[in-house]
A and B are shown apart, each in its own frame.
Chain A
Amino acid sequence: EAGVTQSPTHLIKTRGQQATLRCSPISGHTSVYWYQQALGLGLQFLLWYDEGEERNRGNFPPRFSGRQFPNYSSELNVNALELEDSALYLCASTNTWDRGYGYTFGSGTRLTVV
């Protein structure tokens, strides 16, 4: 069974540009979570998608947005990039109806804004 897949692995953008990060959950998982992890810090909750809808979002500005597609894959968009957006972006997936077995994480996308 394939795990959670994130692409690209690395992304370098200049300030002011837009970045698009993608996540494919484990087959059968309908919930996708996005987290931002700045270097050496903990994970900050960004967005939660479930069954195609945004269920909750963390304390981030509106230029962080995303969506979930009918196949439950998800996209995170960051507009008007700022230097402090440089971080590891992690995606996790789980089943909606059974949260008892933990969340499966992808390996992340390392975004560098220069």
Chain B
Amino acid sequence: SQQGEEDPQALSIQEGENATMNCSYKTSINNLQWYRQNSGRGLVHLILIRSNEREKHSGRLRVTLDTSKKSSSLLITASRAADTASYFCATAVFIVGFYFGSGTKLNVKP
């Protein structure tokens, strides 16, 4: 399967702390994307990192990509209660498609 796997499956932290989620995948990719899902609704695109990039920032988000290890991490700094959601990584493989991991459920306690 080309699907990625997130780790941990669930994460509970206090507001203000940093949250780190990891994603591993199996095949070569064109890019890797992180998405957020609130309460089982549609997904919202957070950030995209291309296969030739190693790190990318967007606001409080920091994504790293290690293609040699086929892994990525998403760091949310200074988390807020509103960050409580499920976070998914998705790998884009040209011609083949777009595959999601199993997700990390983040709970940020006020």
Contact = CB atoms under 8 A, between A and B. Distances in A.
B98 A33 contact: yes
Contact of B99 (A41, A45, A104, A107): A45
Interface of A: 4, 33, 35, 37, 39, 41-43, 45, 48, 55-56, 88, 90, 92, 99-108
Contact of B97 (A37, A42, A55, A107): A55
B83 to A, nearest CB: 19
A105 B45 CA distance: 8
29 contacts: A4-B42, A37-B40, A41-B102, A42-B100, A42-B101, A42-B103, A43-B43, A45-B97, A45-B98, A55-B95, A55-B97, A90-B42, A99-B30, A99-B31, A100-B31, A100-B48, A102-B33, A102-B45, A103-B33, A103-B45, A103-B90, A103-B98, A105-B35, A105-B42, A105-B44, A105-B45, A107-B42, A108-B40, A108-B42
Contacts of B45: 101-105
A43 B41 CA distance: 12
Given A42-B103, A48-B97, A55-B97, A107 B33 contact: no
Q: Is the interface of B mostly helix, strand, loop or mixed?
A: strand
Interface of B: 3, 30-31, 33, 35, 40-45, 48, 50, 88, 90, 92, 94-103
Contacts of B99: 45
Contacts of A39: 40
A43 B88 contact: yes
A88 B3 CA distance: 19
Contact of B92 (A42, A99, A105, A106): A99
Given A42-B88, A102-B48, A104-B45, A35 B100 contact: yes
Contacts of B41: 107-108
A43 B40 contact: no
Given A56-B97, A92-B98, 10 more contacts: A41-B102, A42-B102, A45-B97, A48-B98, A55-B97, A90-B43, A99-B31, A102-B33, A105-B35, A108-B41
